[in-house]
Structure 1
Amino acid sequence: MSEIQGLFETMAGRFNSDAAAGLEAVFQYKLDEGDAYYVAISGGECALDKGLHDNPSVVLMMDSETFKEVLEGETNGMQAFMAGRIRAEGDVMLATRLEALFPAG
């Protein structure tokens, strides 16, 4: 398993189903290096998959170091976005829910 895949599996393992009540969304991640992954949230459940989703709600682009820092709680995702370290397309407001959906370790 690649380090990147391990990071995504760690993130999915922290899924907070209470924060996902009533949410139907697909978060597409495109890291500058490595494979693309997406997390589909539906019915209070989270499904992680590798590749590109046909119709993501929001696409988040960053390097793997930024993803790792946000996941580990070293960097605030919103601050990283404001600093230009994370780029987003689509329903950018959905990205503001990520911290509640996947609490940092």
Structure 2
Amino acid sequence: MGMDEIAAKMQERMAGSDFANSVKFDCGTDGAIVIDGKTVSLSDAGADCIITLTKEDLEAMIAGDLDPTAAFMQGKLRVDGNMSVAMQLSQVL
């Protein structure tokens, strides 16, 4: 799955949400996805919260195969910035 497909799946889930912050998923050389409110884009813009993880782990999270909290506890993802924003987003995705 490409980053554009991951972003499209995120966009579907964000459409009905009331999420109002910004989060960047930084997948290193594979690229980055920024969620800003209900808008999802392939971007490297700044955000309230930056989540660093591999593209494979991001795919697994979006597919529902990897729990965000478990991934954090296992060291598969790192959160920089506002942790409460990441928690809000985990309720939507």
TM-score (norm 1): 0.79
The yes-or-no answer on 1:40 pairing with 2:32 is no
The yes-or-no answer on 1:50 pairing with 2:42 is yes
What is the alpha-carbon distance in structure 1 between the residues aligned to residue 24 and residue 54 of structure 2?
A: 14
Letter in 2 for 1:71: I
Higher helix share: 2
Structure 2 gaps, min length 5 = none
Structure of higher CA gyration radius: 1
What is the alpha-carbon distance in structure 1 between the residues aligned to residue 76 and residue 2 of structure 2?
A: 20
The residue number in structure 2 matching 1:9 is 8
Are the counterparts in 2 of residues 33 and 64 from structure 1 also a CA contact under 8 Å?
A: no
Counterpart mapping for 1:1-105 below 5 A: 3-15=2-14, 17-18=16-17, 20=18, 23-41=19-37, 46-54=38-46, 56-102=47-93
Structure 1 gaps, min length 5 = none
Letter in 2 for 1:40: D
Paired-residue identity, %: 14
* Number of positions where the alignment pairs a residue of Structure 1 with one of Structure 2: 93
TM-score (norm 2): 0.88
User: Shift of residue 4 of structure 1?
Assistant: 1.6
User: Shift of residue 16 of structure 1?
Assistant: 5.6
What is the alpha-carbon distance in structure 2 between the residues aligned to residue 100 and residue 4 of structure 1?
A: 21
